[in-house]
Amino acid sequence: MTAASLARATTPIAAPAPPSRLVPTIWAAAAGILILVATATLGADWSALLGLPAAAWEYGSLMFSSPDWARLPRALFEMWRSISMAWLGAMLCVVVSVPLGMLAAHGVGPAWLRATLRGIFAVIRAVPEVIIALILLTVTGLTPFTGALALGIAGIGTQGKWTYETIESLPDGAAEAVRAAGGGRLAVVRWALWPAALPSLLSFALYRFEISIRMSAVLGLVGAGGVGSMLSNYTNYREWATVGMLLIVVIGATMLVDAVSGAIRRRIMEGPGSRGLGRIR
């Protein structure tokens, strides 16, 4: 080894410069400033927060110390109407959004149709369910059917987006096999994309049904019927014992539906034989 090569071998290699933190720091500072500006312009009475625990305890005692169970049969009937409203809305959402969502997926619909449908889904997602219900009230009136329509229309944006994103995330193997066998676009959708996407779409449809049950109580506050209307009426009259009973019914029914729907979703995603295979050793 020559002296020059020996010198190069013994020369320490300089450590690389640390990565610049300027850009993340700027983004973090901008986010912090945005939060401060939003908080300052909110117009909230922050001193009132100090009395919140005492107020929550007071109204909680009024509602749940001795709930009025005399109106339980009517509360259960109105809760059933809310669940029916949510179910009809979920069915309407699935029937409309799944075909349109598949047409909005890359490789299924043409580019102009994909852009149009995705724009429609984005607009629907930007409008809350309550606003949709208020618009429909002028046409359909104060009925639970109005709430079902509002929930169905509001869910189209979310379910449609989930549908085309699910289709686009599928592996290309099955679709390429159908094309290699001479199948056209409809054959690819029927025999490759639809069977692979069905479990995820069903799972999300059930999840949307759970969300619709919670939203049905909110829609009742604006006159769409169901347990929300009953809750709004007794709250306005300050009958806190009845309000507490209604809240217990809503919470219990929601938890029950969530448990059943969650079990069905797991069954769909895991497959019918997954539990039995797990016990095989």
pLDDT confidence of residue 13: 60
Domain-located, residue 60: no
Domain-located, residue 57: no
Domain span holding position 189: 68-273
Cα–Cα distance for residue pair 217/152, rounded to 1 Å: 15
Radius of gyration of the chain (CA): 28
CATH of the domain at 73: 1.10.3720.10
Domain-located, residue 205: yes
Q: Are 202 and 268 in contact (CB under 8 A)?
A: yes
Tokens of 252: 């219990």
pLDDT confidence of residue 245: 92
pLDDT confidence of residue 280: 44
pLDDT confidence of residue 156: 93
Domains of the chain: total: 1
Domain-located, residue 169: yes
Domain-located, residue 49: no
Integer CA distances (angstroms), 197 to 129, 167, 170, in order: 27, 6, 7
pLDDT confidence of residue 104: 92
Domain-located, residue 24: no
pLDDT confidence of residue 100: 93
CA atoms within 13 A on the CB side of 43: 0
pLDDT tens, position by position, for the chain (281 residues)? 565 555 555 555 656 667 777 778 888 889 899 888 887 787 777 777 777 788 888 888 888 888 889 889 999 998 998 899 889 998 999 999 999 999 999 888 889 999 999 999 999 999 988 888 888 888 877 778 888 899 999 999 999 999 999 998 888 877 888 878 877 878 888 888 888 888 888 888 888 888 888 888 788 777 777 888 888 888 888 889 999 999 999 889 888 988 888 888 888 777 655 454 444 43
Domain-located, residue 12: no
Q: Residue 133: which of 141, 125, 206 has the closest Cα?
A: 141
Domain-located, residue 279: no
Q: Are 37 and 218 in contact (CB under 8 A)?
A: no
pLDDT confidence of residue 16: 66
DSSP code per residue over the chain: --HHHHHHHHSPPPPPPPPP-HHHHHHHHHHHHHHHHHHHTS---GGGGGGHHHHHHHHHHHHHSS--GGGHHHHHHHHHHHHHHHHHHHHHHHHHHHHHHHHTSTTTS-HHHHHHHHHHHHHHHHS-HHHHHHHHHHHH-SSHHHHHHHHHHHHHHHHHHHHHHHHHTS-SHHHHHHHHTT--HHHHIIIIIHHHHHHHHHHHHHHHHHHHHHHHHHHHTTT--SHHHHHHHHHHTT-HHHHHHHHHHHHHHHHHHHHHHHHHHHHHHH-TTHHHHHT--
pLDDT confidence of residue 281: 39
What pTM was estimated for this model as a whole? 0.75
**Which residue reads 């996407």 in tokens?**
197
